[in-house]
């Protein structure tokens, strides 16, 4: 199954309600919300009130990506928004299995993200304890960067481990995904694709953008 997660970081915040509401018709599978604390990554993006506003404007399930030093501190407010997925960074915590357990206990799927420099093996070890493996294909912290093709072997390594273990873990990629790069990521075994610029920056609109991404990912899986 191919899932497209539209990253709201690339939306026009001055028209947030309209942009997010359009994702329902565009048939996005998830709304990806990047929380940045200005410490784990240099930028500050948005927090609780913003995500609450997003969730009021759309029925598309929330996919929260925490790029913060203390992910557990965010769970209190997130629980009330009933997100489908909460992902945190492996590099930010001492005991990722415990943090994943806490996410599941508040009713969300537990995702673990790794930065480009973190080996895929660190995520492979965690697969039995998590629901979503998130491979960053850019340095986290900014939208609109170029996809790092050198992450493809890492995606393949994790996809192979998921299959070998008979697991149903989602394999998500985030950063620089567009109609071209999605092919390589899908062929390597990713099934969930975060796209910000490619969705909200598309001249023909959000629906056309989501369709084009999905069509190309499916074609790459079939080949």
Question: Which sequence positions are flagged as catalytic?
Answer: 34, 174
| End-to-end Cα spacing for the chain | 15
Per-position x/- string for 26-65, each x denoting binding to ligand DX5 as judged by CB under 6 A, each - no binding: ------x-x------------------------------x
Binding residues for ligand DX5, rule CB under 6 A, total 22
Candidates 19, 29, 34, 157; binder of Zn ion (CB under 5 A) is 34
Q: Tell me if 175 contacts ligand DX5 by CB under 6 A.
A: yes
Rounded CA-CA distance 4/215 in Å is: 11
- Single out the residue of 131, 133, 108, 115 nearest to residue 123, CA to CA: 133
Q: Which stretch binds ligand DX5 (CB under 6 A): 93-101, 156-164, 169-177, 207-215?
A: 169-177
Rounded CA-CA distance 213/136 in Å is: 18
Q: How far is the CB of 134 from ligand DX5 (least distance, A)?
A: 9
Query: What letter does residue 37 receive in the DSSP assignment?
Result: B
Q: Tell me if 145 contacts ligand DX5 by CB under 6 A.
A: yes
Rounded CA-CA distance 175/137 in Å is: 5
DSSP E strand boundaries for the chain: 3-7, 30-36, 62-67, 85-89, 109-114, 132-136, 170-174, 192-195
Q: Tell me if 174 contacts ligand DX5 by CB under 6 A.
A: yes
- Partner touching 195 among ligand DX5, Zn ion, none, CB below 5 to 8 Å by kind: ligand DX5
Candidates 2, 151, 170, 177; binder of ligand DX5 (CB under 6 A) is 177
Query: What letter does residue 117 receive in the DSSP assignment?
Result: T
Q: How far is the CB of 165 from ligand DX5 (least distance, A)?
A: 26
Cβ-contact 75, 103 below 8 angstroms: yes
Kindly list the residues in this chain that would bind ligand DX5 in the complex (CB under 6 A).
7, 9-10, 32, 34, 65, 138, 140-145, 174-177, 194-198
């Amino acid at each position: 199954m191919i899932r497209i997660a539209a990253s709201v970081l690339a939306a026009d915040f001055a028209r947030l309600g309209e942009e997010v509401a359009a994702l329902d018709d565009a048939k996005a599978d998830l709304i990806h919300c990047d929380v940045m604390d200005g410490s784990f990554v240099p930028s500050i993006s948005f927090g609780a009130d913003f995500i609450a506003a997003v969730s009021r404007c759309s029925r598309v399930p929330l996919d929260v990506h925490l790029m913060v030093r203390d992910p557990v501190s965010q769970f209190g407010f997130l629980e009330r928004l009933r997100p489908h997925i909460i992902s945190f960074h492996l590099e930010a915590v001492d005991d990722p299995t415990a943090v994943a357990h806490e996410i599941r206990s508040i009713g969300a799927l537990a995702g673990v993200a790794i930065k480009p420099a973190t080996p895929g093996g660190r995520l492979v070890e965690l697969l039995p304890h998590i629901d979503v493996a998130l491979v960053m294909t850019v340095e986290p912290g900014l939208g609109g960067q170029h996809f790092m093709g050198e992450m493809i072997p890492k995606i393949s390594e994790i996809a192979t481990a998921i299959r070998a273990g008979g697991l149903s873990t989602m394999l998500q990629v985030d950063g620089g995904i567009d109609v071209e790069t999605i092919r390589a990521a899908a062929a390597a075994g990713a099934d969930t694709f975060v796209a910000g610029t490619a969705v909200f920056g598309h001249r023909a609109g959000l629906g056309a953008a989501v369709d084009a991404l999905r069509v190309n990912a499916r074609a790459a899986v079939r080949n």
